[in-house]
Amino acid sequence: MNGKPRKWFRFRIATMLALFGVLFCALVFRAFHLQIMTGKTYKTLAERQHKKALQLFPERGIIYDRNGEKLAASILADSVFADPSKIDDVGEAAAQLAAVTGQPKKAIAQQLAKSKNFCWIARMITPAQAEQVKNLKLEGVYLIQEPKRFYPNRELAGQVLGFVGMDSNGLEGLEMRYDGYLRGEPEKILWGRDARGKKLYMPERSATGKKDEQLSLVLTLDSRIQHAVESNLKEAVLRTRARGGFIIVMDPRTGEILAMANNPAFNPNAYAGAAADHKRNRAITDCFDPGSTFKPFLVAAALEEGVVKETDRFNCENGAYRVANATFHEANRKRHGVLTVREILKYSSNIGSVKISEKLGREKFHRYIKNFGFGQKTNIELPGEIPGLLRPWQNWTQVDTSTVAFGQGISVTAIQLVSALSAIANDGVLMQPHIVKKFVDANGETVREFTPTPVRRVISAETARRMTAMLTNVVGEQGGTGKNAALVNVDVAGKTGTAQKFDFALKRFSSERVRTSFMGFFPSESPRFVMLVSIDEPQLHKWGGEAAAPVFRSISQQLIRCFEPDIGETPPVQEKEIDTGARIRLVSTPAAIPAAGAAAEDEESVMPDFRGMTVRQALRAAQDKGLAITVTGSGWAVSQKPAPGTPLKGHRSCTVSFSTGD
């Protein structure tokens, strides 16, 4: 009997040990499963319960003008967000937040109701509003600072700069074109919570990418010129009761855009309330018939091909000339008899232009139009550029060739027109227009710099000089259509234009709706500035010489006052190859200063050449060399003693004679 209890007891012990062994193995397996096999999953779930993350973008790179003035920067602004799961009374919270932020109470309540753990209440509020939100002390409502784009000059170059959305993404203009460079890497904002969801610590930033990775832009724009251009354009639009207008100022030697203005103006600080039409950069997005501003390119092509000379005479038919089934008239019903090519440009004769196009021929004319850059994008670094409209020459009728000769039946953009004129000003070489000078990093170090880029030679330097002389007559001679653009003591080369707009309802060109323009460059002998002024649908002064030419003159006078020491200076040049394979002489940006002891030392040891300089330029050049200078007369330097190239040893002074050439 004693053996049975012992066996039963041993069986019980063995069973319990086996059961404990199974339970222990199950516990070990469960721990292994939780910690090893599914550890990452549960860790992620735990972090979701106790930590929240919000992705924000850092401050964008700055946009500067060529002189270092900030055109676009970022400032920190407070934004309000909420965790609806921690708000007990959604209606009361919505009412209090609506009273402070100005947002509709209903919209806030709906946002809180449909969101689980996160929703924005108001973005980028004022400091005063942020202080009021803080004083509400609402559970589940928080403030966070995020960068807000700020344009300190308001409307200045607004359409060129573009604007930035709430999530730091560029939406128009340069902000959109270079968004990837300006935007930088996003950051995460983290905060912890306990089991009841209460905040354990204030938000802290945790970078997900490299810091300071965004770049800043330095533009070719000069804010002083831009301001002068915009002010004059605004005044002209008001004076003529026009629909709007645009102006571009370009350096013909480098292709740099110094100013690009549109009217109506646009303030990117208030982009949300602006009309969509005002945000558009019309200087690159709109095409139009150029009218008589197109005539110089016809004459340049005819001169280059040798089919006409400046002195060739054409019968302008006393104001009426029939081609095929169309009769052409002069603008403003003027009547001209026999005119030379020079006079055809000076008086802007439509019939004379038609007869020149007949001698040139449609195929050659079309080729030069393309070579001047029309019918194709200039590829300036701005979004939205269009190529204009240029039909194949094979589709031109005889009448089409005639109308294109005086700028109808072809559509161009403002940037094309100013670039083409710059080719004439730049000895016949078309330059790539550009508006971005370089990229710089957070330390101001240059990352990439854009250099002047020649596109092609369009006409010879000789033809360009002949065209310059004729265009100078348009402005400077009695009876020229551009006389209202003339400057005192500075020669201007230019051309007026008045283009009728096509009325699609009536299917004909309108006599009431016109675009008036003036394009020109100065000084004629050494062009520094090329400018196009275009006024859209003026109600008063409906001719280019009346509406646009005075604007050109006013802006040019301001430029001369600002840059007088540099007007007429010859910039450093360098040889570059262009795609035709011919070597040409092109203006470039100033070269780096040679190191001490380099070959430049020879140039320092001889008397500089002051001839052709103004008094101010000569004084400045002498000061740079450490020379004493004696000035006689006024105007431009015509002679000097000692002569240029004389060794400076023993000669630390120079007498320079000046004359106005009268």
Q: Which residue has the higher pLDDT, 243 or 563?
A: 243
Helix (H) or strand (E) holding 455: strand 454-457
Residues 6 or more apart whose Cβ sits within 8 Å of residue 384: 280, 281, 284, 285
Q: What is the pLDDT of residue 545?
A: 84
Residue 26 to residue 30: CA distance in whole angstroms = 6
pLDDT confidence band for 661 (50 / 70 / 90): very low
Q: What percent of the chain is predicted at pLDDT more than 90?
A: 50
For the chain, what's the residue count? 662
Q: What is the mean pLDDT of residues 68-82?
A: 90
Instruction: Fill in the DSSP letter of residue 644.
Output: T
pLDDT tens digits for range 627-645: 878 877 666 677 888 888 8
Among 88-97, 186-195, 352-361, 578-587, whose mean pLDDT is lowest? Answer: 578-587
Q: What is the pLDDT of residue 635?
A: 60
Structure tokens belonging to residue 146: 């995020």
pLDDT for 196 beyond 70 = no
Q: What is the mean pLDDT of residues 69-87?
A: 88
Q: Helices 295-305 and 362-371, interaxial angle, to 10°?
A: 110
Q: What is the pLDDT of residue 302?
A: 97
Structure tokens belonging to residue 226: 């831009």
- Please tell me whether the peptide bond between 642 and the residue prior to it is cis, using omega within 30 degrees of 0: yes
Residue 498 to residue 506: CA distance in whole angstroms = 20
pLDDT tens digits for range 651-660: 678 888 876 5
Closest CA to 359 of 320, 401, 316: 401
Helix (H) or strand (E) holding 208: none
pLDDT confidence band for 218 (50 / 70 / 90): very high
Going through 234-331 in order, the beta strands assigned E by DSSP cover 244-250, 257-263, 313-315, 320-323, 326-329
Q: What is the pLDDT of residue 284?
A: 97
- Other CB atoms closer than 10 Å to residue 429's CB: what's the count? 26
Active site residues: 292
Structure tokens belonging to residue 46: 């735990």
- Other CB atoms closer than 10 Å to residue 514's CB: what's the count? 23
pLDDT confidence band for 590 (50 / 70 / 90): very low
Q: What is the pLDDT of residue 34?
A: 59
In degrees rounded to 5, what are phi and psi of residue 630?
A: -110, 125
Helical residues (DSSP H) of 241-311, grouped into ranges: 276-279, 282-285, 295-305
Q: Which residue has the higher pLDDT, 103 or 469?
A: 469
Q: Helices 414-425 and 295-305, interaxial angle, to 10°?
A: 40
Q: What is the mean pLDDT of residues 606-617?
A: 75
Structure tokens belonging to residue 480: 């020229």
pLDDT tens digits for range 341-380: 999 999 999 999 999 999 999 999 999 999 999 999 999 9
pLDDT for 521 beyond 80 = yes
Neighbouring C-alpha atoms within 13 Å toward the C-beta of 188? 9
Average per-residue pLDDT for the chain? 83
Residue 630 to residue 653: CA distance in whole angstroms = 8
CA angle 134, 136, 140 (to 5 degrees): 80
Asked if 420 and 547 touch (Cβ cutoff 8 Å), the reply is: no
Residue 102 to residue 99: CA distance in whole angstroms = 6
Residue 441 to residue 217: CA distance in whole angstroms = 9
Q: What is the DSSP string of 463-513?
A: HHHHHHHHHHHHHHSTT-TTGGG--SSS--EEEEEEEEEEETTTTEEEEEE
Residue 215 to residue 233: CA distance in whole angstroms = 32
Q: In sequence order, what are the beta bridge partners of 199?
A: 193
pLDDT tens digits for range 274-303: 898 899 999 999 999 999 999 999 999 999
Q: In sequence order, what are the beta bridge partners of 261?
A: 247
pTM of the model: 0.75
pLDDT confidence band for 436 (50 / 70 / 90): very high
